Amino acid sequence: MANSIFIEKHRDPSCRARTGTLFLPHGEVETPAFMPVGTNATVKAVEPADLDAMGFNIILANTYHLFLRPGPDIIAKAGGLHGFSGWKKNFLTDSGGFQVFSLSQFRKILQEGVHFKSHIDGSSHVLTPEKVVDVQVAFNSDIQMALDICAPWGETEKKAFRAAMLTYDWAKRAKSQWIMHRENGYQGNLFGIVQGNFYEELRKLSAEQISELDLPGIAIGGLSIGEPKEAYIEYLELTSALLPLDKPHYLMGIGTPDYIIEAVRNGIDIFDCVYPTRTARNGLLFTSKGQITIKKAIFKEDFSPIDPECSCHVCKAYSRAYLHHLFRNNEILYSMLASQHNLHFMADFVGKIRKAIEQDRFEAFARAFMSGYSEAAAAE
């Protein structure tokens, strides 16, 4: 691409961890950056203004769900996802492929694309690489992902090869469609996705193929899909080392501190996961000393904040005992407060990571953080 959307600012001398800036249509994003997941163009239980106040400049929305309901036409009429949702900063939209491929009994993969039935009403649909680009253009996505095939953990090498080759073919077709829309005024960016499952040579081949397309950014797919942590680390290290340094690197679907630290250590710039908000709604809260399960009886008379070291509004105003009470009574306010706290924790966490990289002390920060976090998590 003639114009890069990413500038690397500083690299930690001890590893591949780096800070940088993403230049996107709806504002700059300082990296490494965590993206909250707003599946239906909303981060559950959190208003856009609160996300803005926490310092987030990009969130993720789900193409599969929004394609089915309310549909790209309605979103386009509303002014894209920004006009529809009220979130005025950046949107990254996934391709919908992961959701489609998880519905194995409802879909059929062909060279043309994917035929599938809606999980909502059973209606039949076809998603081709070109159509996925068109849908995300209707959303006015700032970053859109090419349709890919995420082969499951334990897949045979033969099937993983076919998935990676289809992913490459679809990425080429997506690029042609994206360029057409760019020539007609669309400003969003297309990212390709490296696949290859857990086969070293296949990962290398996929990384080479996707890199040669010279798209604005590149993502690593097919990790954190149920494999052992050792396999995650091994294939993260392998794949990330193959990515072009002048592109932003996106690792899809990670959201716990230990996985994020490994990602940043390997030069990943952006990542997303539903974990912080989904677990918040189910009673799991992040603290600097580890995760706590607020529904436990030990918190019934605990009038301290969720995390005494946290500066969020929730920790300043409410106690563990009150959050315990809200959760036990299924109060809607619980989901709101818990989600705000966990997202604030994530924003603060990656902010500290950026600072540590800039000061050439990323590994020291990682060791200190995980030591305290792991001990508390084990004790809870």
Per the omega criterion (within 30 degrees of 0), is the bond before 32 cis? yes
Residues 61, 87: Cα–Cα separation, whole Å = 11
Contact 247, 260 (CB under 8 A): no
Which are the contacts of 132, defined by CB distance < 8 A and separation ≥ 6? 63, 95, 96, 97, 144, 146, 147, 174
Provide the 8-state DSSP code for 300: T
Whether residue 272 lies in the annotated active site? yes
Catalytic residue among 142, 148, 272, 348: 272
Which are the contacts of 371, defined by CB distance < 8 A and separation ≥ 6? none
Catalytic residue among 94, 142, 148, 307: 94
Whether residue 214 lies in the annotated active site? no
Residues 6, 270: Cα–Cα separation, whole Å = 12
Phi, psi torsion values for 54, nearest 5 degrees: -75, -15
For residue 377, what is the enclosing H or E element? helix 362-379
- Mapping DSSP to helix (H, G, I), strand (E, B) and coil, where does residue 317 land? helix
Nearest-CA neighbor of 43 among 272, 311, 318? 272
- The residue type at 129: P
Nearest-CA neighbor of 211 among 264, 163, 157, 175? 175
Would you name the residues annotated as active-site residues?
94, 272
